[in-house]
Structure 1
Amino acid sequence: MTGGGVGVVRDLRALGSVTRLLILSGFAFNLGFFLVLPYLAEHLGGALGLAAWLVGLVLGLRTFSQQGLFVVGGALTDRYGARRVMLAGCALRIAGFGWLGFAHSTWSVIGSVLLVGFAAALYAPALETEIARQAVRHEQTDKVARTRTLGLFLMGGQAGALIGPIAGTALLAGGFRAACLAGAVVFAVILVALHRLLPAPEPRTAPEPVTPSTSARSGVGELLRNRRFLALCLAYGSYLLAYNQLYLALPMELERTTGSQVALGWMLALSSLMVVLGQLPLSGRVAGAMSHAAAVRWGLLLITGAFTAAGALPPLAGGLLPSLVFVVLLTVGQMLVIPGVRAWLPDLADDRRLGLYTGALSSVSGVVVLLGSAPTGALLDTGGGLSWFALAAVPLIGLSLVPRHRD
């Protein structure tokens, strides 16, 4: 399969209607998200006049209500099925964006933002669980490598992340409320499409001989005893902490080497564009060449190289060279790590618990990011190339934690 537009269309056709719908849902989810959220801080601090600390609190609460509660969405997915949880997430996101567009008081803003975040905590784990199941099914029945299916899913999400801020900028001409309502419309379209086109799960042949609470407790206990999964969570957390430096270390580096952050938007757009254009051909090459564990290790090694290069390279090309190399290597590493981890996850979890494991992966790694953000920020305050070399230890530690692959 080729990596061009024709190859993408051919791949989508080969995967069937359900998987195509899930990939398009991932695209639309990010499109609706990035129509609004990149401009939330400016709206809160500018139009609503909230203090900077309060803006930070609101943004932090949104992140917690989303990333921190992924494990809840995953557990509900196992209990009620991906379709129901995704529909509930869409409905809550529509309500949240509509509320946010009309929110003026501090408590109203906080309530709407929490609702927006919790909606994603329902929707995203359910979507990721179902696309992982479909990827395994295609691998078994159609001989399509699961990393290729998951690569298409990642590519679709990044396309939404690339287009969303551009569309959001245009919509902001009509005010922040217009962007919020447009985001709500996007999720309304997803809701209708999923309700009409996503098949309901097949009924279970026999009821489980345990109560839901007992089942949930046993699932969590099983998860906590799964050392290989927990090691993968920590390794993935090191990747997320490293990737977050696109939004923390990179702006500081551009300010240091060029005197401004003008190039930041272009750098972030380059990262998204690389995923959109390069994910499918890279996934195709990796699928038959290495195991999921090897893909994760190589990705973390490239990310380690990204930080090392940023600290070692001279500030050529107007001071942009270190930042440019950092973005390119970090993005290629991302294109290996994410599909590798997502493709590996079904092999580490009982299929009945796949939602719980999918949500726990995001929640545990989110805790790693939360705990590591303040120390990395303090490290960056020291400035200079030494901070980049020290940050290279983050993905390197993750590399050492990746468990061995088992067939």
Structure 2
Amino acid sequence: MHSDTDGDRHNRASRLRDVPAVVKLLLASMALFNVGFYLVVPYLAVHLSDTLGFSAAMVGIVLGLRTFSQQGMFFLGGSIGDRLGRRPVILCGISIRIIGFVILTVADASAAVVLGVLLIGFAAALFAPAVESANAEFGRELEQSGVMRRTELFGWEQMSSRLGTVIGPVLGAVLLMFPFAVSAAAAALLFAGLWVCFYLLFPARDATAATVALPEVWTTVAKNRAFMMFAALCSMQFVALAQVYLMLPEHLDRTVGSQSALGWFYGGAAVLVIAGQRPMLRAANRIGRRTAIVGGLTLMAMSFVIPAVPFAFGNPTAVVSYLVLSGWLAVLYLGQMLMVPTMRDALAVLARERHLGAHFGMLNTIGGTLALGAGAGTGLLYDHAASAAAPWLATAAVTAVAALLLWYWSRTNDPWLPRPG
């Protein structure tokens, strides 16, 4: 068995070595994007509440605005990438994110902080769909040439992203001893380096650039009813994940009295994804698309029940809080690992492999719009609900309803059919 495992690892490494240099750049950039992101954003709630004195509801609104400016604008950003080409859009997006971090470095008023947060989010709405759609197209080419399945490349993508969420929170936790501006400045410098890498290494390669008008792209996406329904239901995974940045620090603050463990939780969740993504992808391939996607979303819904249980027996101790939060994040990210690579492949199939920036962007736009309302709603529950379990149970219920609707809708729809070849 040992030799088989070594052989599997060697084959996987060989396949990764066979991918073009531009794919390696994309995978590396996903790790570095998240290093910069997690240097700042997970600790933004602490900065808003402790330094600026925002209420939980206001923190939820600001975090929701960040998610909306990013995920909510993905459709526009992805469409622009389809129209103008990926390279200029990626470079522009990184530039805007640098400006956003610079604003956070010097901002001492709430309005300036909100502006910086919005710019950081909108920047990602430009470069992230371009990177994701490029990876999807390269993945199709790699699959057609027999190098690796596209879902496997998506698995590497998830692992690369999570590598950044290991390094970023650890660096952010170290930088917590310094003012928040230091973390923001470090993130700005990192993205400046990324801009140089993309300027030098990313090719001007996009056959659709400058040939398709934006209204035609938008019409193509909007008229794809099967895609729109699928994207709307799957977008709940974004909503569930967005709650981590409000609910984790809020729960720690209310039950432990300190948010000092934030970095450890973010880093631990990322390590779980790095170690578990490939086994979960193999499980998804065995059980099939429908079960993997719906089952993953169901696991995500169930995870939110875990932290709610101790409140039935009184206020949890610090040890119990650490344990239930660990269980919550583990089940939440196991569900995401099971769902996301297969979901992204199904999205590309439903999009008929055309205008992938806009199609992937639409998924994120729906999710970001819903996350804006969910962030405000969760914050209001924290401020006003009689039970401390209410935010957890409400999130679990909404996510479970989406999973049930997805299971029902998927019984008669195309993304679950076997792909040719």
Q: How many Å apart are 1:121 and its aligned residue?
A: 1.3
For 1:299, give the aligned amino acid.
G
Where does structure 1 lack aligned partners over 5 or more consecutive residues?
Answer: none
1:369 maps to: 371
CA, structure 1 residues 316+126, in 2 after alignment: closer, same or farther (shift >3 Å)?
same
Matches within 5 A, 1:161-180: 161-171=165-175, 173=177, 175-180=179-184
1:295 maps to: 292
For residues 402 and 167 of structure 2, what CA distance do their matches in structure 1 show? 31
CA, structure 1 residues 377+232, in 2 after alignment: closer, same or farther (shift >3 Å)?
farther
CA, structure 1 residues 96+375, in 2 after alignment: closer, same or farther (shift >3 Å)?
closer
2:266 maps to: 268
Q: Answer with 52-61 or 349-358: which moved more.
A: 52-61
Q: How many Å apart are 1:327 and its aligned residue?
A: 2.3
Matches within 5 A, 1:209-358: 215-249=213-247, 265-287=263-285, 289-308=286-305, 318-320=319-321, 321-358=323-360
Q: How many Å apart are 1:115 and its aligned residue?
A: 2.4
CA, structure 1 residues 57+397, in 2 after alignment: closer, same or farther (shift >3 Å)?
closer
Q: How many Å apart are 1:364 and its aligned residue?
A: 0.7
On the 8 A contact 2:307/2:392 being kept in 1, the answer is yes
Identity of aligned residues (%): 36
1:263-310, CA deviations, whole angstroms, 9 ceiling, x for partnerless residues? Answer: 6554433222100211123224433x2433332112022223324555
On the 8 A contact 2:381/2:390 being kept in 1, the answer is no
CA, structure 1 residues 386+245, in 2 after alignment: closer, same or farther (shift >3 Å)?
same
Q: How many residues align?
A: 399
On the 8 A contact 1:86/1:126 being kept in 2, the answer is yes
2:195 maps to: 191
CA, structure 1 residues 226+401, in 2 after alignment: closer, same or farther (shift >3 Å)?
farther
1:194-249, CA deviations, whole angstroms, 9 ceiling, x for partnerless residues? Answer: 122222115569x84xxx6xx32233233223222122222222223333443455
On the 8 A contact 1:45/1:51 being kept in 2, the answer is yes
For residues 129 and 374 of structure 1, what CA distance do their matches in structure 2 show? 30
Match of 2:186 among 182, 188, 195: 182
Q: Answer with 255-264 or 34-43: which moved more.
A: 255-264
Q: How many Å apart are 1:363 and its aligned residue?
A: 0.6
Q: How many Å apart are 1:18 and its aligned residue?
A: 1.5
- Normalised by the length of structure 1, the TM-score is 0.83
Q: Answer with 309-318 or 23-32: which moved more.
A: 309-318
Q: Could you say what secondary structure the match of 1:351 adopts? A: coil
CA, structure 1 residues 80+386, in 2 after alignment: closer, same or farther (shift >3 Å)?
closer
2:100 maps to: 96
Match of 1:68 among 62, 65, 72: 72
Where does structure 2 lack aligned partners over 5 or more consecutive residues?
Answer: none
Match of 1:153 among 145, 152, 157: 157
For residues 251 and 301 of structure 1, what CA distance do their matches in structure 2 show? 24
On the 8 A contact 2:61/2:372 being kept in 1, the answer is no
For residues 44 and 377 of structure 1, what CA distance do their matches in structure 2 show? 13
Q: Could you say what secondary structure the match of 2:18 adopts? A: helix
For the aligned residues, what is the CA RMSD?
A: 3.5
Q: How many Å apart are 1:401 and its aligned residue?
A: 3.2
For 2:225, give the aligned amino acid.
R
For residues 196 and 266 of structure 2, what CA distance do their matches in structure 1 show? 32
On the 8 A contact 1:148/1:284 being kept in 2, the answer is no
Match of 1:359 among 358, 361, 380: 361
CA, structure 1 residues 202+251, in 2 after alignment: closer, same or farther (shift >3 Å)?
closer
CA, structure 1 residues 2+230, in 2 after alignment: closer, same or farther (shift >3 Å)?
farther
For residues 271 and 356 of structure 1, what CA distance do their matches in structure 2 show? 29
For residues 216 and 167 of structure 2, what CA distance do their matches in structure 1 show? 42
Match of 2:144 among 140, 144, 155: 140
2:116 maps to: 112
For 1:127, give the aligned amino acid.
V
